Structure 1
Amino acid sequence: MLSKDTTLAAEPRRPVDQVRDLVNRIFGTTPSRISITLFFLVIVLCSLMLMLPVASRSGHPPALEQATFTATSAVTVTGLTTLTTSTQWSLFGQFVILLGVQIGGLGTLTMTSLLSMALGRKLGLRTKLFAQEGLNITSRQGKLGEVGSLLRTVVLTSASIEGIIAAILALRLMTLGEDLPQALWHGVFYGISSFNNAGFTPHTDGLVPYGNDWWILLPLCAGVWVGSLGFPVILVVRMFGLRLRHWNLNARITVFGSLLLVVLGSFLWGAAEWNNRDTIGNEGIVERLLHSVFASIMTRSGGFNLVDMDQTNSITKLLTDLLMFVGGGSGSTAGGVKITTMAVIFIAIVAEARGDQYVIAFRRTIPDTVLRIAISVVMMSATIVVLGTAALMLITHHPLDEILFEVISAYATCGLSVGLSAELPATGLYVLSVMMFIGRLGTITVATGLALRTRSRLYKYPEERPIIG
């Protein structure tokens, strides 16, 4: 029997355990903190890799702000650039950009779960439920509720879609004169860039030389549109196909809302630019329609462009601002405040105008808490855009419409530009980098945080209606 003065020697801890505990203490407490920290670390790593001489064709590394801006644009799947991808970056540099796009496109859920697995941590019930809720996976989908199976499904689905697009584009580029290795690399680059809504192009002139090539533009449109739907919707469609009665409310709102925005955006964009000879005014009718559909899809987050955005009409820039701000589906590679957010607010407005007691969509009642979250996300996003615009107005003397366009494009991780990014000083590039970072993670973390927060109150104050409007 041990006496009081006898002490047991503590078993020495392994270095790997100490590192694991340190990482857990720093950013292992909440999914939001893990997401923010991981994205920041990936951006730093990509920036350092782009600063290497081997990353540049000339052998001379770019300025720190240029490398940071490019890395941030890649990891946040934005596509804004100040340096031409094909002429500035070597094959290694382009690979770093593509790697950043792929990591950023997989999203916070995949990165969080992969980190937990890499640290040797068992995924507890809370983590699994968070993953299941984050991707709207129901119990009817069985093993998809398990994070391991879910990760494999997400990765394999992404790789399959990117591979199909890459194969089609590679074959087409070979028929246009590119050799096999170059066509394969460009096909893979476009496949990953399109599905992840990044907008990076490996060609010097971008997609302008292929402005009327259906075999190039349609696969890119398909990749961007499918990627903008989001993994929650893709997994639902993968499980239930086109049996709409089995789709959950999120999938229905996202798909039908996205189709509506494509049709409406195509009509409005085409009408605004139909006679503009600096953009599509000199094209035939079929080509104008193709350009209109392409622009409508890309303005919501794709970032590819066939015309100089600086040459578009003012009403077109305003329409583009609105489409960029809306963005794509929740949990997708697209940015913006998301289709479901705006749809919930619009449905609530219609319900209020009709005098309905409840907010109903597709025979489902939307809880009041969801409406409050949607309003919060829109208001916070608008506030961030205003602050970013004000910051750039203090830094540069460009017109307000150009600054607003660039800020919304950065925050919505769209990547379209009127040329302002290339003319900004270092401080301006850092402002846009912050906007891209917040835009990629801000609405996700805010919405998740608000949805998980509950505050119980044992009493209720008397109701009183203030005057609205």
Structure 2
Amino acid sequence: MTRHRPALPGRIGHPAVVIATGFGTAVLIGTLLLATPLATAEGEATHWLTALFTATSAVCVTGLVVVDTETHWSVFGEVVIALLIQAGGLGIMTLATLATVIISGRLGLRARLSAQLETKSVVAADLRQVLRRVVLFSLVCEAAVAAVLTGRFFLGYGEPFGRAAYLGAFHAVSAFNNAGFALWPDNLMRFVTDPWICLTIALAVVVGGLGFPVVFELLRTWRRPRRWSLLTRITVGLTLVLLGGGTLAFLMTEWRNPATMGALDDSGKLLAAFFTAVMPRSGGFNTLDIGQMNPSSWLVTDVLMFIGGGSAGTAGGIKVTTFGFLLFMVWSELRGENHVNIGHRRLPSATQRQALSISLLGVALVTVSTWIMLIVTPHSLDQVMFEVISAFSTNGLSTGITADTTLAGHVLLSLLMFIGRIGPLTLGSALALKQRIRRYELPEERVIVG
């Protein structure tokens, strides 16, 4: 006789449906608010597609815009955008952190996140603790960044204290949540040689992109790297490699470019290159004119954007953990090993399949979307691909063609931002939590590969 488990009271639906519904509702509310005359500086209603695109970009913490944020939107509109960014950032941090904790089998945040198999029951107190810590961590980080930026705008640039505080708070929220919205027409290009602003915002982007589980573990065990979980080791290690490699690549490709780094001194070039290497993690700010960069720099940025930041963070892309797993899988295959070992841990075959699935689906989505964009827009392949990857990875960097893209292009980019924000999380969680046990094995047949 088969027993059916009784439905839990107040049980929610499928996680993918809940996540998509939540983000979709936030986008709808933001669209309605931004479409009102109160949200614009001119006091006129904004076209619904412009409002939808901006709301999607804010909720999905992307940063792509079709109108200038400072001149088009009123203070009310800018506050709405900041609140949408905060809601989207907290939403993705909370959902991703809960998914990480549940998948790892560790429901207490004091326990180390590891790949060990351990079963514990989900209790409401644990979930409340996760939510409380994520929100507190986010607000404390944003407050610290806002304080530094406010002081710099007030003391260094002569802004009235109220205006300086407003600028500091807006850009702190935008930076920590990897949104890339700025309140100047040139984004942050006017601050290209200012280390106080550039390094503060870059640090906020990196911390927000690492993810709460990784940051929390680093705070507790930063003196004992050997105790770090596999998630933390991969995230921190590859983040340092990508930041260092990206900085070196941009120094090589843009050093003599008169439209970007050419006019800067050596220290200014180093700061600009480092900032430019940080932003493809999903930050979306720019201190150099992206449209004037060399195509070789665009290609480097494409790769960095597609990889993105850490899991359970506000960054987008396929995530550095996914990319790291792929690298170790290739290395193990080249060495002829039967298992993929990382440090003193063995990577489960299910995780390997998940990494491959997410990566290949991402490549397919970018490829098809680039093909469609080439049909509906008049722009070149390198510009279109840059824009598509930026939208998919919820990055926000642009070569300057966003506003000039056709109506169909804007709709496609909006869909890409939405899919890129909720897709990897829902797909990764669904693949990790869905385990089917086959009662039999089929006979094996070897085929030629390559």
Q: TM-score, structure 2 length as denominator?
A: 0.92
Q: Does 1:89 align with 2:35?
A: no
Are 1:172 and 2:147 matched, yes or no? Answer: no
Map 1:200-215 onto structure 2 (within 5 A). Answer: 200-215=181-196
Question: What is residue 297 of structure 1 aligned with on the other side?
Answer: 278
The structural deviation recorded for 1:235 is 2.1
What residue in structure 2 maps to residue 441 of structure 1?
Answer: 422
Q: How does 1:109-124 map to 2 (within 5 A)?
A: 110=94
Query: Is 2:50 aligned against 1:66?
Result: yes
> In structure 2, do the counterparts of structure 1 residues 354 and 40 end up closer, same or farther at CA, with 3 Å as the change threshold?
same
Q: Could you tell me how far 1:112 is from its partner in structure 2? A: 10
**Alpha carbons 2:109, 2:130 under 8 Å: kept:** no
What are the superposed Cα offsets for residues 410-464 of structure 1, whole Å, 9 maximum, x if unpaired? 0000100011111012221111000000000111111111111222222111112
Taking the aligned partners of 1:413 and 1:349, their CA distance within structure 2 comes to 27
CA contact (8 A) 1:402 1:418 kept: yes
2:407 corresponds to 1:429: no
Corresponding residue of 1:118: none
Matches of residues 178-257 of structure 1 in structure 2 within 5 Å?
A: 178-257=159-238
> 1:240 offset after TM fit, Å?
2.9
Contact 1:135 / 1:331 at 8 angstroms: preserved in 2?
A: no
Query: Aligned pair 1:147/2:127, yes or no?
Result: yes
Would the aligned equivalents of 2:93 and 2:313 in 1 still touch at CA under 8 Å? no
Residue 133 of structure 1 is matched in structure 2 by 102
Looking at structure 1, the residues matched to 27 and 21 of structure 2 have their Cα atoms a distance apart, in angstroms, of 10
Amino acid in structure 2 at the alignment position of 1:318? L
When residues 186 and 144 of structure 1 are mapped into structure 2, their CA distance, relative to the original with a 3 A threshold, is farther
Matched, 1:392 2:373: yes
Deviation by residue 1:210-240 (Cα, 9 ceiling, x = unmatched): 1101111110010001111011212222333
For 1:305-384, what aligned pairs fall within 5 Å after superposition?
Answer: 305-384=286-365
Instruction: State the partner residue of 1:105.
Output: 89
State the shift of 1:107 in Å.
2.6
Q: Give a deviation string over 1:378-415, Cα, whole Å, max 9, x none.
A: 00011111121122122112111111110000000010
CA deviation after TM superposition for structure 1 residue 466, in Å: 1.1
Deviation digits for residues 305-348 of structure 1 (CA, Å, limit 9, x no counterpart): 01111111111111110000000001110000000001001011
Structure 1: distance between partners of 2:313 and 2:441: 39
Tell me the distance in 2 between the aligned counterparts of 1:291 and 1:31.
41
Query: SS at 1:252's partner residue?
Result: helix
The residue number in structure 2 matching 1:276 is: 257
Give the unaligned 5+ runs of structure 2: 1-8, 112-122
Shift, 1:202, TM fit: 1.5
Counterpart amino acid of residue 110 in structure 2: Q
Which stretch of the first structure deviates more once superposed, 272-281 or 457-466?
A: 457-466
1:46 to 23, 30, 44: 30
Q: Deviations over 1:167-187 (max 9, x none)?
A: 000000001110011000100
Change (3 A) 1:42 1:58: same
Stretch of structure 1 that moved more, 323-332 or 200-209: 200-209
What SS is found at the alignment partner of 1:186? helix
CA contact (8 A) 1:38 1:111 kept: no
Is contact 1:131–1:147 with CA below 8 Å preserved after alignment?
Answer: no
CA distance in 1, matches of 2:247, 2:106: 32
Give runs of ≥4 in structure 1 deviating > 6 Å. Answer: none
Amino acid at match of 1:47: T
Q: What are the Cα deviations for residues 28-87 of structure 1, in whole angstroms up to 9, with x where unaligned? A: 311221100000000000000001111101001221111100000000000001111111
Quick check: which has more Rg, 1 or 2?
A: 1
Which SS does the other structure have where 2:61 is aligned? coil
Deviation of 1:108 after TM superposition, in Å, equals 4.1
Q: What does the per-residue CA deviation read over 1:72-107, in whole Å, with 9 as the maximum and x for residues that have no partner? A: 000000000111111111111001100110111113
- More divergent stretch after superposition (44-53 vs 142-151): 142-151
Separation in structure 2 between the aligned mates of residue 360 and residue 44 of structure 1, nearest angstrom = 45
In 1, the alpha carbon distance for the partners of 2:126 and 2:226 equals: 24
CA distance in 1, matches of 2:167, 2:14: 38
Aligned counterparts of 2:238 and 2:207: Cα–Cα separation in 1: 13
Tell me whether 320-329 or 58-67 shows the greater mean CA deviation.
58-67
CA contact (8 A) 1:144 1:150 kept: no
Cα distance change on mapping 1:31 and 1:131 into 2, 3 Å: farther
- Which position in structure 2 is the counterpart of 1:56? 40
Distance 2:355 2:185 in 1: 40
Match of 1:466?
447
Q: How far off is 1:144 after superposition?
A: 11
Q: Alignment partner for residue 161 of structure 1, among 129, 138, 141?
A: 141
CA distance in 1, matches of 2:357, 2:323: 11
Task: Identify unmatched segments of 5+ residues in structure 1.
Answer: 1-20, 114-127
Amino acid at match of 1:223: A
Letter in 2 for 1:465: R
Q: 2-side partners of 1:140 and 1:314: how far apart?
A: 44
| Cα-to-partner distance string for 1:4-26 (whole Å, 9 max, x where unaligned) | xxxxxxxxxxxxxxxxx9xx79x
Counterpart contact for 1:34–1:112, Cα < 8 Å: no
Q: Which amino acid aligns with 1:54?
A: L
Residue number in structure 2 paired with 1:11: none
What secondary structure, in the 3-state scheme, does the structure 2 residue paired with 1:430 have?
helix
Whether contact under 8 Å (2:93, 2:212) holds in the other structure is no
Root-mean-square deviation over aligned CA pairs = 2.0
Answer with 347-356 or 235-244: which moved more.
235-244
Question: Judging changes above 3 Å, is the alpha-carbon distance between structure 1 residues 34 and 138 closer, same or farther for their aligned structure 2 residues?
Answer: closer
